[in-house]
Structure formats: structure tokens, C-alpha cells
Structure 1
Amino acid sequence: MKRFSPVLGAVTIVAAIVGYVVWQRPAAPVPPPPAPKEVVVQYADGSKLWSTAEEGMVRPELVKLVSAELHAANLPLDELKVVGGVVRTTIDARIETVSATVVGRLVAPNQRLSATVTAIDPASGGVLAYVPGPNRDRTNLADEQQETVPELAEPFARADAPNLVQARMRPLDVTAAYATFAAGGVQRRAHFVASVTGADGSSLYQASDAEKSVFGNDVADRVTLALKENPACNGVACVPDAFPWAVGYTPQLAVTVLVDETGGDVDAGLSAAIWQELVAELTD
């Protein structure tokens, strides 16, 4: 029988004791995550729209759409809170306010009605105004596909681009389609985020100008002149007789109004009246 050396046995015992002590030692405490930093969401002019300091409040529909767009660009709002920063949107504070005010005055008093307004800058695709309005199911009217009418598709048939209007579309997508005429036949992606800047001033995101020419400038001009001939348009290219829709554009903005009602008689000229008042105020 082999015998263990006393020295080897002592070393083995010491190693076992050290291992036991190390095993029993509590793990080093995990440092708490850094406190989130404020992210400010701004209108296009730099004024404040919302910030993560107001996280406990209900997020406006606009902020939900901005957050979704950031997520699609691999810059989720939760990750952005680690470094802090500023999200500059394309929303024009004046156009947004005017749109909400006109809708509130002409539609809100009638509990059966709701209306949405969307406006886009044809030169960039940036969304200038987004007034969602609840639909008959009390969800977001502007972000749901709605049934279109033949009058909306007619100008695109003249431009040999009928695929730009579908049987069901979101109001924002209708606005983007008509912005193509205002942009001389160039189609641009509608977007809400113009740029994102870190708290240290670094550029984290810049909207790219994704564009596609779908018909020539001469075609766009021809359709625009035809749309301006409607007496109800007051010299602005528009389709006022597409109830419950009304849509049109100037070189600076394309605007769509959609009225939703839950029953009963509705003035078929209401959407056109809202559109006309909006454009009159915004083009002064």
C-alpha cells in the first residue's frame, strides 16, 4: 500500500480550505444601471413637444409614431435614454396647431363626428401635421386603413400611375401620394423624425431622402392645372368632391382631411370645408 507524504497531505488540506473559503465568499455586488438621461422630442422649430421626463403621462400619438420610427432605425427610445439627447421631428408647430384648432371648432361639437388631418412637405416627405382623431371604434383614425373613393384615384389614372392609390389606405399615405404631384412626380417616404442628436452634441441619426421618380414634371403640371380648375378649390390643386375625403396640395404642403361619422346625416361638404379653411389659413 502506498503512503501519502505528510507535506502533500497538508498542501491538499490547505487548498481545500482556501477553495471552501473562496466558494463561500459572496459575489461582488452588481453595480446598479446608470440613471436614464432625458430625451427631448422637439417640433421642427426646436420647441418642446415632449420629453422622457413626462414618461408617467400618456404619450401623445405623435410620440408613439416617433418612437416606432426610431425603433425601425435601430435607435430605440429606451436605448437613447442611456446617453440622452434630442429628437428633432418634422412636425411644424404652427401647422399642427392650426389643424387641431380648425378640426376642434368644426367637428368636435358634434359627438357623432371625428376628423383627421395629415400634412406633408412635398420637398422632403417630412410630416408637417398629424391630427389623429378617434374613429367610430375610438381608435386612431389617421393610422388605420380607410376605404378610398374613385375620385381620389382619378388624378393618378391621368398620370398613368394608378398604383399609387389603393382601395384602402391610411390618410397619411393618401397625403404622401398627392405630395408626389406637388414634387413634380417625385415620390418620397413620409417620415416624422428629422434628426437625433446625443446629449454631447454628436449626430446619432439623420433622415435620408429616399425618393423615386414615378412620372415626369410635365405630367405633374398637367394634372395640377386640371385640379386647380375646380371652382371649389379657389385656385389650389384639390379634390374636394371625394367625401368623406378632401385632399389637395400647394408646392409647400399636401393636406388630407378625412371625416368619420357614427350614423345619421352628415354634411357632405364638411371635409372640403375643413380642408379649404386649413389651406386658407396656412397659405396666408
Structure 2
Amino acid sequence: MNPRDFIDKLAPIATEDMRRYGVPASLTLAQAILESNWGKSGLTQQANNLFGIKGTGPAGSVTMQTTEYRGQTPYRTNAQFRKYNNWQESVADHTKLILNGTKDKPNRYHGVLWADYKTAATEIWKGGYATDPNYPNKLIAVIEQHSLYQYDVPNPKEVERVNMEQLIAELKDARKQIQQLITSLATVLKTTTEQEHTIRELNKRLKKLESLHPENIPIWAEPAVKAAQEAGILNDPAGSYDFYRMVTLMHRMGLIPK
């Protein structure tokens, strides 16, 4: 199986596992790649064991030779490894080990849960998963070389926190917009009030102007003024609006002789 096919087959399993339990998919993939040599190791071929987990599995166990370390010194030894019916069982057992740890230290691998891939690679080694001192660097190199971090999914709690922060920001923005609308409305009301005041003042000035002398005789007063002039009772036709109203009234009442 080539690397692309290996990743395509295992990535959906690792991603779903992360959604349910928080074990980074990138870590699951990288460990499977290192431990199984892209699925080509004898342990994977014979036992579907992707992670080199020792003991007895759902399908029993197999004895294989493995490399261990004392400090910086490697040595070869035989050990019993778990056997599985398929890769899903292997991933599930890997997750179970991380979640439950060991009897003496149940939380030994909890540092990897929902962690970024670099932290997870270090924490899995600190928990004692492997004795190789370069194990974290090897995991990180595989993850970065094949961009396995793209399969990691966000922590639901982190997603909830981000969503809450976005909601708070939106509420603050909405409140700001409402305040701006209130300010705009107040400005409009103030402007309307000022305009009403201006109109009242203009009406007052218009009434005053009506009582002043117009430049020309109003059309409606022309017949009365002409009659008064012909009757010889009006020499100067200039006057105020009140004067023209009075002359027009006299004319209509027949008080101006013909």
C-alpha cells in the first residue's frame, strides 16, 4: 500500500475518533505510519496492529521481535503484541489506551487530548508510549511532511468559546448601531423642531409684511383703486394692504361714487 492510499484509508477513522474522544487525528496517523511502516510491517500484515501495542487483542496475540531502548542504547527483544480483526479495532484500542492509561497511572497520556500536534507528539512520549528519545521529533516530521495536521478537528469547547466570542462581538456591534440610530433620531428630531420654529418665525414675518406697503397695487384691489381715482377721492394710489382692503370693501359696498 502506497502512502497516499494508506492515509486515505486511515484518515476517516482517525478523524472520527478525534471528534468523539479528542485524540488528535494527526497523532493517530503519524504513529500508525511509524509503527506499521505504512502498513507494511509484519505486525500490521499479520495482526492488523498499527501501533505496536503489546498484549492480547480482540483476535488474540502474536509474538514479534521489536527494538527497545535503555537510555540512548537500542536493543532487540521478543514481545507479545495485540492482534485485531481490522484497522478500526486497532485505532479504537489505541484511543482506549490513551484515554485509560495504565492501572498505575490512568491519566499518563491525557496530555495529548485536544492538543496541537507538536504538544501531542511530546506528551505521548512523556507518557511512556515509546522509549525512543527521538520519538516526538519523528512524529512531528511525519506530520509536517505529509500535512497530517489538516485532519485535526477543533475542540468542541474551543469552537463553543469562539462562537460565544463572536456572538458577544456581534451583540456589541448591534448595540453600537442602535446607539448610532438613537443619536441620528435625536438629531432628526432636533432638526425638525428647529425647522418648525423657523416656519413659525417666517409666518410671523409674513403677517408683518402683509401690513406693510406693497410695491404694486394688488390685482384684487385694482378695480377699487381705479374707481376711487376716477371719482376724484384718491390722488395717491400707494398704500398698505389694509388700505387696499378698505378701498376694495368700499367699492364693493357702492360707497365710491361713479
Common fold by TM > 0.5: no
Q: Comparing both structures, which one devotes a greater share of its residues to helix?
A: 2
Q: Comparing both structures, which one devotes a greater share of its residues to strand?
A: 1
TM-score (normalised: structure 1): 0.18
